[in-house]
Amino acid sequence: MKNILRATLASAALILSVSTISPVFAACDATTNNASEGGFLQTCSREPDEVIITGAMTLKEIETSLPSYSAQFQDYNADKAAIKQLQQISTPTQVVVAFGTWCPDSQRETPRFMKLLKQVNNPNITVKFIAVDHDLKDPKGLAAPYKIDNVPTFIVQQQQKTLGTIIEKPTVSLEKDLLNILAK
């Protein structure tokens, strides 16, 4: 009798755990088109706080679409000496930033990088932001050529050659890692 009761309780517990866990894995529904380059905004019907934006984004679109980034933006204090050095960069430099709006590392590093860009304010440093989904993809395949394995990924390029990357988090700081890459 005890064995039957244990088996029944175990089965009930398994059924209950599956029914409460499975909604987390439910597919997300696309709700609105957000970006000029074919991106879209989606929310998970079972996880309303998780917003996934994909596609090319401008700095302004990130600021307006992701107000939760403002705390990291406001709190980040970049090294002033490094900012001065980045302001002196005269070679055209592009930084491709692949990030996930759903990713904690991206939520921390992307707004910090945005603040760094504003402080540096160097027209020779341009940025291309590409928001990706959980599969590290976007609707137009903009991130595909960069073979992103983790987010955020900051790809530093000059003359269409990749000089280096910062993946997930900087070794020292965004500004110092960027300077180290540019010094190679």
What are the domain boundaries of the chain?
54-182
DSSP state of 163: E
Closest CA to 152 of 138, 141, 162, 165: 165
The predicted-structure confidence for 71-112, as pLDDT tens digits, reads as follows 889 999 999 999 999 999 999 999 999 999 999 999 999 999
Structure tokens at 86: 């980045």
**pTM of this structure:** 0.75
Q: Is the pLDDT of residue 116 over 80?
A: yes
pLDDT (average), residues 51-55: 92
Helix pair 80-87, 174-182: axis angle to 10 deg? 40
Q: Is the pLDDT of residue 167 over 50?
A: yes
d(CA 80, CA 86): 10
d(CA 54, CA 32): 11
Q: Is the pLDDT of residue 183 over 70?
A: yes
d(CA 102, CA 135): 11
The band of 39, judged by pLDDT with boundaries at 50, 70 and 90, is low
Output the pLDDT for position 28.
42
Q: Helical H runs in 38-136?
A: 59-65, 70-75, 80-87, 104-120
**Topology at the third CATH level for domain 54-182:** Glutaredoxin (3.40.30)
Residue with tokens 């029944």, as numbered in its chain: 8
The predicted-structure confidence for 99-109, as pLDDT tens digits, reads as follows 999 999 999 99
The predicted-structure confidence for 135-163, as pLDDT tens digits, reads as follows 999 999 999 999 999 999 999 999 999 99
Residue 130: strand pairing partners: 56, 98
The length of the chain, given as a count of residues:
184
Q: Is the pLDDT of residue 123 over 70?
A: yes
